[in-house]
Structure 1
Amino acid sequence: MAPTSETLTAERILEATEEVLRRHGPAKATVVDVARALGVSHGSVYRHFRTKAALREAVTKRWLDRTCEELSGIVIADRDPETRLRDWTAALFAAKRRKAGEDPELFATYMVLVGENGEAVGEHIADMTAQLTRIVEAGVESGTFAATTDPGTTARALFHATGRFHDPCYAREWEEPGVEGDFAAVLDLLVKGLRP
């Protein structure tokens, strides 16, 4: 295969892998397909990702990291902690709904890949709860939230309590009538429970 004019980078490989997965699905997509899409040999792809599993894990991690990056600005925003908590949770719900609704083929593919990559999912959940922990800590420091013995435990509880609105296993419910009202009711209940 003739090399492309652009330098082959891990990021380019991940972009091409995402497109190949969108077209072929996780069962049929191969490293050879990715290489063909890039106009390089499959050996060139393997120089960046030693195995097909490593490539699939990297593309899964990249997909999950996008959500964390999108939410990170809310964590440090110059707003009161309650508003940040509400905004962060709403943004998480919106991001997951968008991924499921705008690109259902790729979302279904990632559901398969996420099932294969427990380590990437564990890191993603740890990143998300770390962001929530920072918001809870800020709320405790400002007196907006009641003091807790462990803000990390509170953050994990918040994450799990809102799971219906961000866990992909509930994706079919996200377009049902009334889901926004359900989300608002759960979030109101949680915020009230955090107040001193």
Structure 2
Amino acid sequence: MPPDTPSTDQLPPRTPVQVVAQETLIANLRNAHALEKQVIAVLEPQLKLLDDYADLHARLTRHIAETREQAERLEAALASCGTSPSMIKDAVLSVMGLGQSSAQGFSSDAVLKAVVADMMTEHLEIATYRTLIVLAEMAGRSELVPALEASLREEEAMADWFNQNLELLARRFVELETAQRRQ
């Protein structure tokens, strides 16, 4: 193949299905990138609430690092599609994330509300990455699938952690709240 000829993976979509899948893929990659930015904006302030929850603090700290990597993977996927993240979507969802974390911090059961919201978000992200994988395959962009699958595995692992620890976290919250009221 001559040096200036794009590889098969870089060629524009060839069929009507690939065209629609590519357009939908790009829109959803941008949405996923904005979602990851929102997740970071929500999780970072939550860490301040978790002094009495060392295991949760450690797991969320690790997941914030994973989320940053996921955002970078999405940026790379968008670049390979010849585009970039939507700065407007990123900004709006980041501000919404900061608002969400601020509102949670005012309630007496902020930790429990944060855990429930985080669990919901993990399942949203799982569905998002599964959808992105299907769209990438339909668009003929199979080179994007391994990175999307890596992000999917990280989201599934975080959701599993929450599923395995929810009861423990709820019990710890009640015990800490009871001890605090006794003082």
TM-score (norm 2): 0.32
Bigger helix share: 2
